[in-house]
Chains A and B, each alone.
Chain A
Amino acid sequence: SQQGEEDPQALSIQEGENATMNCSYKTSINNLQWYRQNSGRGLVHLILIRSNEREKHSGRLRVTLDTSKKSSSLLITASRAADTASYFCATVPSSGGYQKVTFGTGTKLQVIP
Chain B
Amino acid sequence: DAGITQSPRYKITETGRQVTLMCHQTWSHSYMFWYRQDLGHGLRLIYYSAAADITDKGEVPDGYVVSRSKTENFPLTLESATRSQTSVYFCASSGTSGGALYFGPGTRLLVL
Residues of A whose CB lies within 8 Å of any CB of B are 1-2, 30-31, 33, 35, 40-45, 48, 88, 90, 92, 97-106
Contact = CB atoms under 8 A, between A and B. Distances in A.
Contacts of B103: 42-44
Interface residues of B, number: 27
Contacts, number: 65
A94 B90 CA distance: 24
Main SS of the interface on chain B? strand
A104 to B, nearest CB: 6
B106 A42 contact: yes
Contacts of B105: 41-42
Interface of B: 31, 33, 35, 40-45, 48-50, 56, 58-59, 90, 92, 97-106
Given A42-B103, A105-B40, A99 B97 contact: yes
A2 B98 contact: no
Contacts of B101: 33, 35, 43, 45, 90, 101
